Structure 1
Amino acid sequence: MADKANAHPGAAGRAAAADHPASIRNVVLVGHSGSGKTTLVESLALASGAVTRAGRVEDGGSVSDYDEIEHRRQRSIQLSLVPLAWDGIRINVLDTPGYADFVGELRAGLRAADAALFVVSAADGVDGATRLVWQECAAVGMPRAIVVTHLDAARADFDEMTAVCQKALGGDDPDAVIPLYLPALGERRSDGSAPVTGLIGLLSQRLFDYGKGTRTESDPREEHLLLIEEARNRLIEGIIAQSEDETLMERYLGGEECDVKTLVQDLEKAVARGVFHPVLAAAPPAGGGRQGLGTVELLELITGGFPTPEERGLPEVTTPQGAPRPPLTCDPSGPLAAEVVKTSSDPYVGRISLVRVFSGTLRPDETVHVSGHGLESRGHEDHDVDERIGALSAPFGKQQHPLGRAIAGDLACVAKLVRAETGDTLSAKDDPLLMEPWMMPDPLLPVAIQAHSKADEDKLSQGLSRLVAEDPTMRLEQNPDTHQLVLWCLGEAHMDVALERLRSRYGVQVDTVPHRVSLRETFASRATGRGRHVKQSGGHGQFAICEITVEPLPGGSGIEFVDKVVGGSVPRQFIPSVEKGVRAQAARGVAAGYPLVDVRVTLFDGKAHSVDSSDAAFQTAGALALRECAGQATIHLLEPVAELAVSVADDFVGAVMSDLSGRRGRVLGTEQAGPGSTLVRAEIPEIEISRYAVDLRSMSHGTGRFTRAYARHEPMPQQQAARILKEASNPDGGR
């Protein structure tokens, strides 16, 4: 692991297929947008010998951000796998987007990894979203380390950033967040600043110089030894505190000198257990060199300190019907259990699935069982089918390198899985399994769309189905009340990328239109109406007359139809026809085109003709009678009200509550949701929170989260209702 005495780079290069889970490390990079994750991946690829020039593969593309949309936006938007090799170990590096709109890709990366490397910019510090992810990793015991980037930024200070990380991420044990190295500075520039050119190992007390782009090792200068004494003692005490050898602390306090080899071994074990979190520094190669600052140390930390797949617990499995199954182990000869963590489309190859194999061995051209993922509410149908997989490959930028197999603990790309979607389980066809799904954020930003032209309309359904198959954080809804096609996204950037993919990848142009909520109509007062439908056009005519009263009912009552006809003025066989006509008109609305609810309709009189009356005639008469009643009564519009639960940092509670009140919300109460976090509960009209996903993120600096659930419909304020009713009655404005 990093900082071994006399450590040297081992065999390196592009990763080959792993032969045993012990020779695999799966690590996910976590950090805010702009923290330097992708640059770090490219530096690691160069240092390991996987590429010959900074971040470029043979076709000139990047090893990580190779998607055309990523190029245009200059931002990572998807999970990327970059397999590397170091000291005979296959390292699957999972580069995740840092922007909050693409947190679904981050969740997939966390699911596929066994350890996390948090990338923190010395120029920006630790943001709220990074702290939340750190806490989630801590809750499941995922091993974590921190790498500080952008040390060349103005006023960047490694010691200060280490203190920030200890405070923000250390929680109850800041001594578990400790640097393994201190930066060594080069010659001072004319402005008084000095570049970081090397690292001083606190355990080995060696200087690793990267000033010329290649790591060299030497004895530290005298001023370095004075600099590291306090930091070295603190590191040793931190390692001993986490050591499984209870006698080590006693020997240390008794004045015994601790063997560096023993300290390194204890450090490796503590990191793998997720109780010790080393801090390192990294920077791109200098002067066209091959090794960036800290890259060798990072590679050795990953291979020596991060756990193997065998050391991490596996997700629970059941049968597709929900029957329990024994826990899985990371055994290449065990039952096959793999999971699709990402789905993408290639214009030439078709659908490509990135798969993490948890148990068993996956081989090309075999038939596997695909089990669904329980996201049917988001438009992702559950699956329970057999599929024949295509070729296996390891991605490297835009390239795909063939693999003969993928064993337990490894990741691979699978071609030609037509039915499988992100989150689905792959297992043996004669022993189907279903894995417990990982936590997926709810899409809470609605975007109403429509086809731009008739040609786009013909391709829209297929394009949208492919889009949501790739992204389980997206939900597609055909609203039965507003008849709008709504794409639910995580934010505006998520929406923009989705629409751009529709256009560039699937050739579908769509327009966004204002999103409408599902309003309702109801009567505010009692009214009486007469429906008369009398026509004569030769032969049998149409004759039906009915008289009804309509009166309001309490909320949630629906529509109640009462028959009070006496004397047979409306024949028995036509009373259901009147009810059918009334209910059909209620579904269409009587004022603004929204469904009518919470009324009692009473049929008390009417007339019929022995020849010309019919079922259709009385249906029409019933609808006409209801419309006449609406013209005589006051109609109220009802708007949906949502139950909102907002989790936010304590610093922003006041701003959130004030904002909710300004949106006509009613705050029901607050409660402690965890250290430094508060849960605010409120009821709020849905029309006021269509953009709340965007506004809350801005208001809370990325720390706020919320859930929403339908509560009921309530009368809309008179001024807003009058405006909507006026628009509905305007034949030019429409609704």
Structure 2
Amino acid sequence: MKGRVPSGVRNVAIVGPYLSGKTTLLESLLCITGATSRKGSIKDRNTVGDSSPEARDRQMSVEVSAASTEYSDIHFTFLDCPGSVEFAQETYNALMGAGTAIVVCEPEIARVLTLAPLFKFLDDWEIPHLVFINKMDRAKDSFMDVLHALKNVSSRPLVPHQYPIRKGSDLIGFIDLVTEQAFHYHAGAAADPVPMPEDLKVEEHFARQEMLEELANFDDHLLEELLEEIEPSQEEIVKDLKMELGADLIVPVFLGIAEQDYGARPLLEALVREAPEPSLTAERRGIKLHKTGEPLAQAIKTYYTPQGGKLSLVRVWQGEITDGMSLNGVRIGGIYRMMGQQTESLQRAGAGEVVALARMEGILTGDTLSTGDGKLKSELPKAEQLAPVYALAIAPEKRSDEVKISAALSKLMEEDPSLAWEQHGDTHEIILWGQGDIHLQVALDRLRRKYNLPMNTHLPRIQYKETIRKPVAKIHGRYKHQSGGHGQYGDVYIDIAPLPRGEGFNFSETIVGGVIPKQYIPGVEMGVRESLEEGPLGFPVVDVAVVLRDGSYHSVDSSEQAFKMAARSAMQEGMGKCEPILLEPIASVEIWAPSDFTSNMMQLISGRRGQILGYEPMADWKGWDKMSAYIPQAEMQDLIVELRSLTMGVGFFQWKYDRLQEVPDKISERVLSMLSDSSSGNTKSNGNGNGKR
């Protein structure tokens, strides 16, 4: 495109499923535009994207990587986003600042469903996007069949922009459906124009008509031309593509082989011609820009780097940010353009640019930034934070490192908001929560590399409780101790009874005649409460009522401490007679999955001792069901792993604690047996049926 685009800036997120070739496409785009002298490869671990040690170890994207280049007088910033569902939060946060997204996918109908959550997010947020069907040399299904399959998972109409030219099974070129010009690919060079293949004229015509008919749904003039069989001009078609892509009304579809640079140049040209300017993106997203033009930005990613400390990747929505300026009361310590893990210092950044700001302490991913004092009139919308679905208990290999854990985990959460941690009150374990096993392993690698905190891990213990079935009365407890001088004397009679589930603990007294002075009664309650911390089965006791009925005291030797010890003795005597039973936490779970997998979900739930409450179609997501169930928490540790396995990686769930419920006898026997073995040192059990990780 000749001449300069007024804004001169585009920021483009590259998204798509795991192994679709996003990072390889980025390498092609950077090499073609001269940003790099040679293409890197994932195998050789020298790509601009996936440049972190954790990404290169696994040969997969684990965080957003930013890279900049220039082409046709436009400055591009590409955001290479992870494809694994376990790192979806990274992708969603980055998309909140993107002007356009390239959805990279493979030409396999069987894998099209993996795009459904991504298309849903893009459509819900009205983010303009186009599709690049990569790896066309491996296609087993026809282009039009793949296109139609893609349409089934998108609420926006997909519009073919190109049609493939094959020689046998090889992809050798494409037909531009706007110009109807055919091209042959050449490795390392632009495609050459060639005559239209005679054997593809009919297929090309149908594909082009499909494109024009979709565009005509939004352009009455084009519709009239088609009805009157008037050939629309190329300028009109391009204008419609630009307008309707910018308004997120259509999804243009391109094709190629990123590994050989095939299709990368036409894709770039389309971004130059058709991708919306930054101001249109802000307008479409409903962002109210200040009339004064004061700077407005949003943090879309946080990094902690070994050399530069904290970097906040921000999208500038309005105005100009300059080095040394204060945003939200925090002074900018430097402005940088990122190229993977390399940085280039800048003095300023304008509207539409994506840059890194140094030393923005207290600024979190998703925060809105302005030159005010941090008291914003309104916050820019953020991507919803994904609920954690997988957990590990962690402990430092060195006991002396325990004091460093809290600060390191806080920085880890800043870099990756989809992580969470807690120190559990019952088990006293530090629990690290995330989106899956790989997600947590990456987090543990960062703890080791960045903060020198190697960790031991195991599956979290289930927070079993116990209660009683049968009441007992007049249980006697006495504490008498004499060792010279004043002795210790406390004497109590108590009744113990079960309470309805969820009632907790209740203590009362019916003392008459002063047989136990009132100042000693709190000691009795304290002793009872302490005894409930570990019942006869070895777990905290709940749903129990204790009544202090009678007792006696000594005018000299009695004390609050003595009555506390007497109460503990009575509880120890009485609880074993009350038929203690084991309780387990039950979670209320909602599972979302495509309707094709609903029967699989039912089997999954019933196979984990779950109770299905029902299911219903999702009103805002065609072809998906939501299923509600109760599932024992002991059965949920790897629920997300099996759920993803059964649904091609797209199923997901949310859960919350609901209640305690009696454990079936066989399960109870196994848990208590494991607890007994653990106490005797025979095994390193975590109390939920799993050994040490």
Give your verdict on TM over 0.5.
yes
Deviations 1:515-574 (A, max 9, x none): 112222212111242222211222222111111110011112111111111222211111
What is the CA–CA distance in structure 2 between the aligned matches of 1:432 and 1:669, rounded to whole Å?
45
Alignment-derived partner of residue 4 in structure 1: none
Deviations 1:607-662 (A, max 9, x none): 21112211222222222221211122211121111111111111111111122112
Alignment-derived partner of residue 311 in structure 1: 280
Deviation, 1:332, is: 9.6
What is the CA–CA distance in structure 2 between the aligned matches of 1:44 and 1:345, rounded to whole Å?
27
Alignment-derived partner of residue 340 in structure 1: 299
Letter in 2 for 1:542: Q
- Tell me whether 609-618 or 390-399 shows the greater mean CA deviation: 609-618
Alignment of 1:115-514 (within 5 A): 115-123=100-108, 126-153=111-138, 155=140, 157-169=142-154, 171=155, 176-185=157-166, 193=168, 195-221=170-196, 223=198, 225=201, 228-243=204-219, 246-284=220-258, 286=260, 292-313=261-282, 328-330=287-289, 334-369=293-328, 386-430=329-373, 432-433=375-376, 434-514=379-459
Letter in 2 for 1:31: G
What is the CA–CA distance in structure 2 between the aligned matches of 1:358 and 1:261, rounded to whole Å?
30
Alignment-derived partner of residue 572 in structure 1: 518
Deviations 1:555-609 (A, max 9, x none): 12111111111222211111122112212222x1222443221111010111211
Deviations 1:34-84 (A, max 9, x none): 111111111111111211211489x99422111111111111111111222
What is the CA–CA distance in structure 1 between the aligned matches of 2:429 and 2:118, rounded to whole Å?
35
Deviation, 1:228, is: 2.6
**Partners of 2:401 and 2:453 within 8 A in 1:** yes
Alignment-derived partner of residue 372 in structure 1: none
For residues 146 and 579 of structure 1, do their structure 2 counterparts lie closer, same or farther at Cα, with a shift above 3 Å needed?
A: same
For residues 668 and 449 of structure 1, do their structure 2 counterparts lie closer, same or farther at Cα, with a shift above 3 Å needed?
A: same
For residues 218 and 656 of structure 1, do their structure 2 counterparts lie closer, same or farther at Cα, with a shift above 3 Å needed?
A: closer
2:506 to 560, 575, 588: 560
1:722 to 663, 666, 669: 669
Q: Equivalent residue of 2:496, what SS? A: strand
Deviation, 1:96, is: 0.9
Deviation, 1:184, is: 3.0
For residues 178 and 726 of structure 1, do their structure 2 counterparts lie closer, same or farther at Cα, with a shift above 3 Å needed?
A: closer
For residues 566 and 300 of structure 1, do their structure 2 counterparts lie closer, same or farther at Cα, with a shift above 3 Å needed?
A: same
**TM score, norm. by length of structure 2:** 0.92
**Partners of 2:25 and 2:259 within 8 A in 1:** no
What is the CA–CA distance in structure 1 between the aligned matches of 2:287 and 2:196, rounded to whole Å?
52
For residues 155 and 718 of structure 1, do their structure 2 counterparts lie closer, same or farther at Cα, with a shift above 3 Å needed?
A: closer
Deviations 1:439-498 (A, max 9, x none): 121111121111222243343333222212211101101111111110111011101111
For residues 720 and 284 of structure 1, do their structure 2 counterparts lie closer, same or farther at Cα, with a shift above 3 Å needed?
A: closer
Alignment-derived partner of residue 681 in structure 1: 628
**Partners of 2:247 and 2:284 within 8 A in 1:** no
Letter in 2 for 1:656: M
Alignment-derived partner of residue 96 in structure 2: 111
Q: Equivalent residue of 1:215, what SS? A: strand
What is the CA–CA distance in structure 2 between the aligned matches of 1:333 and 1:483, rounded to whole Å?
53
- Tell me whether 356-365 or 332-341 shows the greater mean CA deviation: 332-341
Q: Equivalent residue of 1:122, what SS? A: coil
Deviation, 1:95, is: 1.1
**Partners of 2:107 and 2:139 within 8 A in 1:** no
1:705 to 636, 643, 652: 652
2:509 is the alignment partner of 1:550 = no
Q: Equivalent residue of 1:426, what SS? A: strand
**Partners of 1:329 and 1:359 within 8 A in 2:** no
**Partners of 2:327 and 2:374 within 8 A in 1:** no
**Partners of 2:181 and 2:196 within 8 A in 1:** no
Alignment-derived partner of residue 15 in structure 1: none
What is the CA–CA distance in structure 1 between the aligned matches of 2:151 and 2:34, rounded to whole Å?
33
Letter in 2 for 1:624: S
Deviation, 1:338, is: 2.3
Letter in 1 for 2:364: E
Q: Equivalent residue of 1:108, what SS? A: helix
Deviations 1:364-389 (A, max 9, x none): 222222xxxxxxxxxxxxxxxx4222
Deviation, 1:212, is: 4.4
Letter in 1 for 2:625: T
Q: Equivalent residue of 2:583, what SS? A: strand
What is the CA–CA distance in structure 1 between the aligned matches of 2:174 and 2:186, rounded to whole Å?
10
Q: Equivalent residue of 2:316, what SS? A: strand
Alignment-derived partner of residue 690 in structure 2: none
Deviations 1:664-717 (A, max 9, x none): 111111111142111111112111112111111112222211111111111111
**Partners of 2:504 and 2:542 within 8 A in 1:** yes
2:532 is the alignment partner of 1:581 = no
For residues 152 and 81 of structure 1, do their structure 2 counterparts lie closer, same or farther at Cα, with a shift above 3 Å needed?
A: same
**Partners of 2:108 and 2:146 within 8 A in 1:** no
**Partners of 2:493 and 2:551 within 8 A in 1:** yes
2:691 is the alignment partner of 1:732 = no
For residues 572 and 212 of structure 1, do their structure 2 counterparts lie closer, same or farther at Cα, with a shift above 3 Å needed?
A: closer
Alignment-derived partner of residue 576 in structure 2: 631
Identity, % of aligned positions: 32
Q: Equivalent residue of 2:631, what SS? A: strand
Deviation, 1:225, is: 4.7
Deviation, 1:431, is: 5.4
Deviation, 1:136, is: 2.4
Extract structure 1 runs of 4+ deviating beyond 6 A.
Answer: none
**Partners of 2:13 and 2:79 within 8 A in 1:** yes
**Partners of 1:592 and 1:724 within 8 A in 2:** no
For residues 645 and 432 of structure 1, do their structure 2 counterparts lie closer, same or farther at Cα, with a shift above 3 Å needed?
A: same
Alignment-derived partner of residue 320 in structure 1: none
For residues 357 and 591 of structure 1, do their structure 2 counterparts lie closer, same or farther at Cα, with a shift above 3 Å needed?
A: farther
What is the CA–CA distance in structure 2 between the aligned matches of 1:481 and 1:74, rounded to whole Å?
39
Deviation, 1:401, is: 0.6
Alignment-derived partner of residue 36 in structure 1: 21
**Partners of 1:181 and 1:202 within 8 A in 2:** yes
**Unmatched 5+ stretches in structure 1:** 1-6, 12-18, 287-291, 317-326, 370-385
Deviation, 1:256, is: 2.4
**Partners of 1:198 and 1:208 within 8 A in 2:** yes
2:552 to 604, 607, 611: 607
Alignment-derived partner of residue 380 in structure 1: none
**Partners of 1:591 and 1:728 within 8 A in 2:** no
**Partners of 1:271 and 1:277 within 8 A in 2:** yes
**Partners of 2:531 and 2:571 within 8 A in 1:** yes
**Unmatched 5+ stretches in structure 2:** 688-693
Alignment-derived partner of residue 655 in structure 1: 600
Deviations 1:166-192 (A, max 9, x none): 3443x5x7xx3232222234xx5xxxx
**TM score, norm. by length of structure 1:** 0.87
Q: Equivalent residue of 1:210, what SS? A: strand
Letter in 2 for 1:732: S
For residues 78 and 544 of structure 1, do their structure 2 counterparts lie closer, same or farther at Cα, with a shift above 3 Å needed?
A: same
**Partners of 1:208 and 1:215 within 8 A in 2:** no
